[in-house]
Amino acid sequence: MFSMTRDAFGPDFVFGTATASYQIEGGQTDGRGISIWDTFSATPGNVRGGDNGATACDHYNRWPEDLDLIERGGFDAYRFSFAWPRLIPAGVGAVNQSGIDFYDRLIDGMLERGIQPFATLYHWDLPSPLQDKGGWMNPDIAHWFADYATLVQQKFGDRLQAVATINEPWCVAFLSHFLGIHAPGYRDIRAAARAMHHVLLAHGTAVKALRAEGAKNVGIVLNLQKCEPASDSDADRAASDMFDGVFNRWYLDAIFRGIYPQDVLDRIAPHMPKGFEAEMGTVSAPIDWLGINYYTRSLMAHAPEEPVFGVRSVEGGLEKTETGWEIYPKGLEDLLVRVASEYTNGPIYVTENGMAEIDEVEDARRVAYYDAHLQAVMRAKARGADMRGYFAWSLLDNYEWAEGYAKRFGLVRVDYKTQERTPKASYRAFQGMLHNG
């Protein structure tokens, strides 16, 4: 049970749960094209156990059961993502009618159950033919992505409550092109600098394309992390500021102020795409809402031996989740208040929050995690952040990217052999709060 009632969040506050296409869908035989996660996971060493999303939670076939779970849980909304390669197998050009039909069924299924569809256009499954052309390193991706956004708006826009362009641009750019942990697995500052700009340029170009097709409720989803210094030393404080620039300010400054933070730019300027300054107006095209994904904090130390930024994260002493991430609800409150006071007085949603836990259905620690973070949202709201909703990550145990199926984030347990779904105590905690007002 949670310690609060849903009334405490106000009458229009939206409660939802979230997933992403590659992590749950499977169903790769309907004409869907290949994505960078199919190829990345096929390369030994990239993903724990060599796991891939070929079957995942078989949501492609089991979506009615999954939507029933959302409805029975009492959730108002479902945050899902479209798989670009399912809709446009080559990334540009011919459309896959079976893919259109699948999302038609899924969205209509939500509406029949009274669930608001919150859609994300890009949650990391880039069509491989676009990667062959340079992917996020190629400036043309802004138009490839805008054309895909236009298709989505034309086919489904009349039934979507909200659309987010990109999920977690830091992961798309930095984690995938500098740290090499996610597809396409580059470890190259020039590749990263290009992706860091093009992912935002694609976002802004898509915002304009969506609006041209009549979209009214367009946003982006950023993963933000509270950065704190590992010690009181000036050097560690500077390291924390630098990482805050790379992780948080790069995206917030760009979207809300049309600039990149100078301290980060100073480190990567030679690698930035030529003429990027002229594109910052597009990058900062006005949005209707901001989504924030929050999981933990970063404890940062000065590390001159580290390339480019000279910082590294160190292990903290707080209680940790199964992924080793510190549990730090105050970081969520601080971030929400900061974003609201420094960047936007517009609507903010927590679009993801949750924890990986050992494989157990009576997940008391996860119930406590959610409770503490929901309290943080309430405190941020009381301190002036325009909080409009909260989405639990995730509805189902699912494919946790480079961790394969080893890390379980679900409110509902998935037995990957039988595909049986079993609601956990955390699901029942939401259900209790959402059904009882």
Binding site for ligand IFM (CB under 6 A): 20, 23, 168, 293, 352, 393, 400, 409
Q: Which is nearer to ligand IFM, 2 or 409 (CB)?
A: 409
Radius of gyration of the chain (CA): 20
Q: Which is nearer to ligand IFM, 171 or 339 (CB)?
A: 171
Pairing of strands 421-423, 412-414: antiparallel
In sequence order, what DSSP letters do the residues of 104-166 get, joined into one string? Answer: HHHHHHHHHTT-EEEEEEESS--BHHHHTTTGGGSTTHHHHHHHHHHHHHHHHGGG-SEEEEE
Find out whether the peptide bond into 270 is cis, omega within 30 degrees of 0.
no
CA–CA dist 147, 307 (Å, integer): 36
Q: Which is nearer to ligand IFM, 55 or 323 (CB)?
A: 323
Find out whether the peptide bond into 341 is cis, omega within 30 degrees of 0.
no
CA–CA dist 357, 123 (Å, integer): 23
Active site residue 168: yes
Active site residue 71: no
Which residue's CB comes closest to ligand IFM? 20
- The amino acid that residue 315 corresponds to is E
Shortest approach of ligand IFM to residue 93 CB, angstroms?
Answer: 27
Shortest approach of ligand IFM to residue 178 CB, angstroms?
Answer: 18
| H helix or E strand, kind and range, residue 228 | strand 226-229
Q: Which is nearer to ligand IFM, 78 or 409 (CB)?
A: 409
The catalytic residue among 326, 333, 352, 400 is 352
The catalytic residue among 25, 168, 228, 357 is 168
Residue 131: HSE in the Cβ half-sphere, 13 Å Cα cutoff: 23
Shortest approach of ligand IFM to residue 362 CB, angstroms?
Answer: 22
Q: Which is nearer to ligand IFM, 161 or 293 (CB)?
A: 293
Active-site residue set = 168, 352
